Structure 1
Amino acid sequence: MFLDIEAHAKTVHKIRTLKQKHNVVMLGHNYMEPLVFGLSEKEEQGDSLGLSMYASKTEAPYLIFNGVPFMAETAKILNPSKTVLVADKTAGCSLADNYGAEDVKELKALYPGVPVMIYVNSYADAKAESDICCTSANAAHIAKMMPGDTIIFVPDILFAQNLEEELNKDNTARGAICEVHEKFTLDDLLGIRESFEIPKGHPCRKLYAHWECRPNVLKEADFYGSTSQIMKDIAERVAANQLERAFVASECELTSNLAQEFPEVQFWTACSVRCSHMAQVSLGKIAKILEAIDQNADLGEYEITLSPEVIDKARTPIERMLEASV
């Protein structure tokens, strides 16, 4: 890490200088590599929805979202008057890319009257056709509030299966699978327990898994939840001096950032399990955005734009989620 900082010192300095000069809010998703994640202040770091909500409270004219475009779209929906920028508009998501507005319409036609709950990992046009949005942190809570015994949950099939097991409610799932979290198998977790000496039930050694993993992976984990819930549990255990070793079945850069925040914990990670889309966000690309702002150049290559109609329609399921989460 020290060598990385030394090698990129000039770029990091330029980014920080221009960020301050132009009063730019730089939102850093938890899955960003440490050097990129560290460009954001503590209050600018978090999961996609938390960052979008934070952005709505600032007066800064420019928001740079260090994440993938669907995240920046949510920020734009909640902050329509602000300029929202991403380092690489081609960075996708295996969930969002494979499930769109027409897919939601088709399901609604097949199951008329059944409420549609859409995961935040989706594009604005798909959100616009749904009844309510959710994150991995509040999905179970919101699902319990839905009328009737059946819901349509899209687009994450594995997450839907996990919710169905967690709740006494049927769900109709269509969509895709997170290409990162699906890589973790039960055999992987059993091997991790043995190799890294994290036996089940150990008071100070824990194996964590994200909601988007396979159902049998969640059952094997000591704790499962959203990124923010996992981080909260780790922070609380560290504060109570009850965590000495941990493995997190999620994107490996999350563990990299956790290791920096909690150096007293020995973290193990699966370095091969990375989100290739998130990895498209780099220091060099972020610097180019800020240089364009500084030169008053065209920002079209980076700017997230949505039609007023999509913003209005997509805002409703997001606001319903926020109201239900209070």
Structure 2
Amino acid sequence: MSVTNLPTPGTRPAHDAVEATRDVYERVRHVIPEAEWATFAQDVVAIQELKRSRRAVVLAHNYQTPEIFHGVADVVGDSLLLAQRAQDVDADVILLAGVPFMAETAKLLNPAKTVLVPDITAGCSLADGITAEDVLALRAEHPGVPVVTYVNSSAAVKAVSDICCTSGNVERVVRHLGVDRVILIPDEYLARNVARATGVEVITHPTRCEVHERFDVAQVEQLRAETPGLTVLAHPECSPEVVAVADVAGSTAQMIDYVTTHRPPHVALITECSMADNIRAADPGLHYVQPCNICPHMRRSTLSTIRIALETGGPEIVLDPTTAAAARRAVERMLELS
């Protein structure tokens, strides 16, 4: 007796899926080989169908890989833009392709919606490096000093803060407070860069981004020697020494804006690897030097984990109501300035 292997429900044969996603592949053909796309196409088709049936949207951070960023995401951006756009989506389900603290922020701003994350165990050296108890200890040590908390933090940490910030708006937030001293947590390097830029005394916490702290001045100098005319853009989570030798320092959104506006002929983005891939996919005419480091936590989001999350309805972000209310106030104060 012969047995015919039929596709599982919601799965198209590989060839059909490739053909069905031909227009999507055109967006990433400069960074993903066609043979590799064939391994992604079935998941892309399934995710698009699941988004329709579940009334779901996918929000993806700039550090997501191109097959996610260009292939299935409805909204892409840095932490600030995702926080803003999360409030505007017309959907019952939000899937945040990123790490759990980002999904928590989306849930804070959309308490009535179901918010999913592809992998609840994905970490973040910044969010995992500080607790609410640490913040309360800083408050006790420095009474009356306002606490500015980077969005790369848990809801529990946000809840004991005065206002949140992103790498794109942190200087505006600090200046808005109109004080001589602030507690800026959890990123030590971001805090030191802000102190230099604003002249405000900054009290911080010894936590750093494991991706950005690995860059050093010697790498930047070597890149310049190898590529004359190179424009170097550094994320403010890099050390102050690296930021000082870069041509431009800014958030991921500010980097993208600079590259697309000024179009320097040779570009080095001192940040996570996928960032350059995503820009190059959209604008292959520029020459990108990629001295990048990979965030292992961001790579926990894959097309497969996104698909499973939409199929099963989990992992779902659930927050304690009291914690969520306090954390929401800190995030909303930031958004009022943005």
**What TM-score, normalized to structure 2?**
0.88
1:207 maps to amino acid: V
SS in 1 for 2:94: strand
Q: What is the CA–CA distance in structure 1 between the aligned matches of 2:307 and 2:271, rounded to whole Å?
A: 28
Q: Is the 8 A contact 1:115 1:147 kept in 2?
A: no
Deviations 1:122-149 (A, max 9, x none): 0000000001100001101111122321
Report the equivalent of 1:37: 69
Runs of 4+ in structure 1 displaced over 4 angstroms?
A: none
2:38 matched to 1:6?
Answer: yes
Partner residue in 1 for 2:8:
none
| Superposed displacement of residue 187, structure 1 | 0.4
Could you say what the CA RMSD is over the residues aligned between the two structures, in angstroms?
1.2
Q: Which residue does 1:306 correspond to in 2?
A: 319
Give the counterpart of 1:253 among 271, 274, 285: 274
Give the aligned partner of residue 320 of structure 1.
Answer: 333
Instruction: Give distance in 2, aligned partners of 1:231 and 1:121.
Output: 20
Separation of aligned partners in 1, 2:193 and 2:135: 20
Q: 1:169 Cα shift?
A: 1.0
Deviation, 1:49, is 2.8
**Correspondence 1:120-131 to 2 at 5 A:** 120-131=151-162
The match for 1:202 is none
Q: What residue identity is the alignment partner of 2:232?
A: L
Count of matched residue positions in the alignment of Structure 1 and Structure 2: 306
Aligned to 1:28: 60
Alignment of 1:49-128 (within 5 A): 49-128=80-159
Is residue 179 from structure 1 mapped to residue 200 from structure 2 by the alignment?
Answer: no
1:196-252, CA deviations, whole angstroms, 9 ceiling, x for partnerless residues? 223xxxxxx4110001001111111111111111111111113xxxx2110000001
State how far apart, in whole Å, the 2-side matches of 1:165 and 1:23 are: 46
Query: 268, 280, 287: which one pairs with 2:300?
Result: 280
Q: How far apart are residue 39 of structure 1 and its match? A: 3.1
Alpha-carbon displacement from aligned partner over 1:142-171 (angstroms, at most 9, x marks no partner): 111223211100000011111111111111
- What displacement does 1:56 show? 1.1
Kindly indicate whether the alpha-carbon contact (under 8 Å) linking 2:122 and 2:300 is maintained by their aligned counterparts in 1. yes
The answer (yes or no) to whether the contact 2:120–2:315 under 8 Å persists in 1 is yes
Larger mean CA deviation between 63-72 and 311-320 belongs to 311-320
The share of aligned pairs that are identical, in percent, is 40
SS state of the match for residue 8, structure 1?
helix
Q: Which residue in 1 is equivalent to 2:260?
A: 235
Aligned counterparts of 2:208 and 2:227: Cα–Cα separation in 1: 28
Pick the aligned partner of 1:157 from 188, 202, 212.
Answer: 188
Q: CA–CA distance in 1 between the matches of 2:58 and 2:257?
A: 22
Match of 2:223 among 187, 192, 196: 192
- Whether the 8 Å contact between 1:27 and 1:63 is mirrored in structure 2 is yes
Comparing 109-118 with 168-177, which one deviates more in the overlay? 168-177
Alpha-carbon offset, residue 100 of structure 1: 1.3
| Pairing of 1:129-144 with structure 2 (within 5 A) | 129-144=160-175
Identify unmatched segments of 5+ residues in structure 1: 199-204, 293-298
- 1:178 deviates by 0.2
CA distance in 2, matches of 1:302, 1:49: 23
Secondary structure of 2:68 counterpart = helix
CA distance in 1, matches of 2:146, 2:302: 39
In the TM superposition, what whole-angstrom CA distance separates every residue of 1:40-99 from its partner, at most 9, and x where no partner exists? 45x501112311321211220000100000000000000000000001000010000010
Larger deviation: 312-321 or 3-12? Answer: 3-12
Q: CA deviation at 1:317?
A: 1.1
Q: 2:171 is paired with a residue of what secondary structure?
A: helix
Question: In structure 2, how many angstroms separate the alpha carbons of the residues matched to 1:39 and 1:304?
Answer: 24
TM-score (norm 1): 0.91
Q: Distance in 2 between matches of 1:246 and 1:218?
A: 15
CA distance in 2, matches of 1:124, 1:111: 22
Structure 2: gaps (5+ residues): 1-31
